[in-house]
C-alpha cells in the first residue's frame, strides 16, 4: 500500500540542514543556502532501457537513477543539494521493489550530501520507471557549460572510455567533486559529461560553442571494459571504436586553454586521470588524426532514443 511505503520511507530519510520541510507535505521546502542561482536536471530511467531488473541487483538501478543526475550536476560544476524521486511501480512486488531502490539511492545521497526532499509513488500495469530530479547550487566560480569552447582550447577528458555496459554504467562514480575542484582551480571554458558517447557528447560541445574538434584518436583512453567487450562481441568493433561510441561512461569532457591545460595535466593533487585527446579548431565539424597520422572527418556515433 502506498501509505505504508511512504511511512516506511519517511522513517528512513535522514534530516538535512538545507531541508526545512521534508517528505509528507504537498511540496518540500528547501533553504537555498544564500545561492543566487540553482541548477536543476531530471532523468527518467526505465526497466529494459537503462537497466534490466530481472538480471541485476535492484539496488544498483536505484543508485544509477541518482548517479546519472549527479553526473549532470557535475557537468555544470555545481554542488548538489536535493533530489525528488518519482516511481511508477509494477503492482506486483512494488513495495519490495521500492524498498530496494531506496537501498541503492540512500547511501549515494549520503555520500554527496543530497537531501531526499520528496517524491511521488505510484503503481500501474507497466514496467518500472523512476524519475529523479536533482537541484544544485551554483558556486562562486560559476557554471561549466557546453558552450564556451574556443578554437585552440585543448580537449581534456577524465577517466577512460567504452564498454560501460559490462557494469560500469550502473556503478560509476559521478565526477561531482572532481568537477568542483577543476572549476575552482582552472579556467575551464566548457564541459559536458559523457552519457550518449564520447564522440556524440563532444559534438554537443562544438555545436553549442560554434567551433570544430580535432581528435587524436591514439590519445583516447580506452578502458579495459572496451577491450573485454570488443573481444566478447567477436571484434566487430575495435576497443577504440567502443571508446568513441559506447554511451554511459559518465566521465567529463573539458575545453581548456593551452596554458591552463599544461598546468592541469601536471596537477598531481587532482586525484584522477586526465588525458588530452585533441583540440578545438576553427573548421566546423569533427575531425580526427587517425593511427596513420592523417586528418580525416570523424562521424560521431552514440545512443539516441528512437521513436517515430
Nearest to a copy of itself of 236, 305 (CB atom): 305
Residue 126 within binding range of a copy of itself, rule CB under 8 A: yes
Contacts of 301 (CB under 8 A, 6+ apart): 197, 199, 200, 244, 245
Terminus-to-terminus CA distance in the chain, angstroms? 37
Nearest to a copy of itself of 108, 222 (CB atom): 108
How many CB atoms lie under 10 A from the CB of residue 270?
A: 16
Q: Which of residues 127-146 bind a copy of itself (CB under 8 A)?
A: 127, 129, 131, 133-136, 138, 143, 145-146
Residue 274 within binding range of a copy of itself, rule CB under 8 A: no
Residue 46 within binding range of a copy of itself, rule CB under 8 A: yes
Cell numbers for 85, please give them. Answer: 524521486
Euclidean distance between CA atoms 41 and 275, whole angstroms: 27
Contacts of 90 (CB under 8 A, 6+ apart): 97, 123, 124, 125, 126, 127, 128
Nearest to a copy of itself of 19, 261 (CB atom): 19
Paired sense of beta strands 285-289 and 212-216, if any:
parallel
Rounded to a whole number of angstroms, the minimum distance from the CB of residue 194 to a copy of itself is 11
Total residues contacting a copy of itself by CB under 8 A comes to 78
Residue 84 within binding range of a copy of itself, rule CB under 8 A: yes
Nearest to a copy of itself of 14, 93 (CB atom): 93
Residue 122 within binding range of a copy of itself, rule CB under 8 A: yes
Paired sense of beta strands 274-281 and 154-158, if any:
antiparallel
Q: Which of residues 146-175 bind a copy of itself (CB under 8 A)?
A: 146-147
Q: Which of 103, 111, 113, 121 binds a copy of itself (CB under 8 A)?
A: 121
Amino acid at each position: 500500500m502506498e501509505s505504508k511505503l511512504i511511512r516506511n520511507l519517511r522513517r528512513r530519510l535522514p534530516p538535512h540542514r538545507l531541508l526545512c520541510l521534508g517528505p509528507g507535505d504537498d511540496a518540500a521546502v528547501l533553504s537555498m543556502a544564500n545561492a543566487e542561482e540553482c541548477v536543476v536536471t531530471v532523468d527518467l530511467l526505465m526497466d529494459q532501457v537503462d537497466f534490466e531488473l530481472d538480471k541485476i541487483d535492484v539496488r544498483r538501478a536505484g543508485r544509477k537513477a541518482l548517479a546519472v543526475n549527479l553526473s549532470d550536476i557535475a557537468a555544470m560544476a555545481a554542488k548538489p543539494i536535493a533530489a525528488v524521486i518519482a516511481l511508477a511501480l509494477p503492482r506486483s512486488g512494488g513495495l519490495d521493489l521500492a524498498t530496494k531502490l531506496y537501498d541503492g539511492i540512500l547511501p549515494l545521497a549520503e555520500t554527496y550530501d543530497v537531501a531526499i526532499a520528496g517524491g511521488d509513488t505510484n503503481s500501474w500495469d507497466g514496467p518500472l520507471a523512476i524519475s529523479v530530479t536533482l537541484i544544485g547550487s551554483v558556486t562562486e566560480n560559476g557554471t561549466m557549460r557546453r558552450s564556451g569552447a574556443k578554437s585552440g582550447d585543448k580537449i581534456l577528458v577524465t577517466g577512460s572510455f567504452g564498454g560501460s555496459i559490462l557494469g560500469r554504467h550502473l556503478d560509476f562514480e559521478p565526477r561531482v567533486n572532481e568537477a568542483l575542484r577543476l572549476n575552482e582551480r582552472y579556467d575551464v571554458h566548457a564541459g559536458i559529461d559523457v552519457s550518449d558517447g564520447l564522440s556524440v557528447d563532444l559534438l554537443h560541445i562544438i555545436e553549442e560553442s560554434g567551433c570544430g574538434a580535432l581528435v587524436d584518436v591514439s590519445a583516447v583512453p580506452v578502458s579495459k571494459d572496451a577491450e573485454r567487450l570488443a573481444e566478447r562481441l567477436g571484434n566487430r568493433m575495435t576497443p577504440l571504436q567502443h571508446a568513441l561510441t559506447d554511451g554511459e561512461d559518465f566521465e567529463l569532457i573539458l575545453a581548456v586553454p593551452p596554458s591552463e591545460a599544461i598546468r592541469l595535466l601536471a596537477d598531481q593533487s587532482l586525484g584522477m586521470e586526465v588525458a588530452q585527446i585533441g583540440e578545438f579548431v576553427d573548421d566546423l565539424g569533427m575531425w580526427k588524426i587517425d593511427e596513420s597520422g592523417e586528418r580525416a572527418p570523424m562521424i560521431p556515433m552514440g545512443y539516441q532514443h528512437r521513436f517515430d
